[in-house]
Amino acid sequence: MSHLQRGVFLDLATVDRDDLDLTELRASLPEWSFHEHTEADQRLGRIGDAEVIVTNKVELDAEVLAAAPRLRLVCAAATGTNNIDVEAARRLGIVVSNARDYATDSVVQHVFALLLTLVTQLDAYRADIRAGRWSASDQFCLLDHPIGTVAGMRLGIIGWGVLGRATARVAEAFGMEVLVAESLKTDRAAQEDRVPLERLLGQCDVISLHCPLTATTRHLIDDAALRQIRPGGLLLNTARGGLVDPEALARHLRSGHLGGAGIDVLEPEPPPADHPLLADDIPNLVLTPHTAWAARTARQRVIDEVTANIHGYASDQPRNLVE
């Protein structure tokens, strides 16, 4: 057994809004320090002699990790670990564990909330009602914005992990045809049931991103990729903001080449007021503030996963290792 004494949660408010049960997490260690938010210059003072750090978005670079004398375990309250220098942790003998598969239901329902909002012109019709156009109509319904159906559409999925597969299952239930992009990892052999990215972009009505953000995938959807998407095509991104070139996306929406985009993630977050996708003249853009993952049940699972990771390490059976 690995004896652990003290833990610190650096940004609890990014997960818990006073609606989660923290009982088991609090009981996982004898001593805890919980902080709603932690600024960069507060990190070392708050970490102190903690053996366990829990972080969602607070950056833990090599300098911070090296300055934590008793640190043994870093728990990411998320799947992504871009904010943690995993290589430095490895050199220092610090274990990094993340939370996995906690938000599948939440993310998948958000994917289709974005898609259905675009296809049914939901925002446009709600705006019409608020403007009094339904009350002033000479007939029982409004038909000013063309409504499509997802049944019969072809969905292209980029990223064939848990989220990509779950999205595909729901898409098929809606009557959509699903194509899956070939792996973006260069060491993977071609697979007969997968489609090269360039061909997938041109053959699908909807593109949904479910891949991680890496040096290879940064701005994967750039101007050239957007040009390959068929006219009127839709783009959905609930993965990472850095996968999409925002200026290129804004141009293709304004030009009408794209039929619309549903975007839940930007880079950076929170975005500056002059972010290219926050302009108020971009048509057919449905933007949400990184909430696809945030159902209460999903956030509770994050806490439960962190708790399990602490117990796993303490019993010499570390889990969800990030290497």
Residues assigned a catalytic role: 240, 269, 290
Phi, psi of 318 (to 5 degrees): -60, 145
Q: Which helix (H) or strand (E) holds 208?
A: strand 206-209
Nearest to 230 by CA among 249, 209, 258, 252: 258
SS3 104: helix
Query: First vs last Cα of the chain: how many Å apart?
Result: 22
Encoded tokens for 52: 């366990």
Using DSSP, state whether 70 is helix, strand or coil. Answer: coil
C-alpha–C-alpha distance, residues 239 and 110, integer Å: 11
DSSP string, 269-305: SSPPTT-GGG-TT-TTEEE--S-TT--HHHHHHHHHH
* Separation CA 236–CA 22 (nearest Å): 33
Helices of type H across 162-245: 162-173, 197-203, 223-228
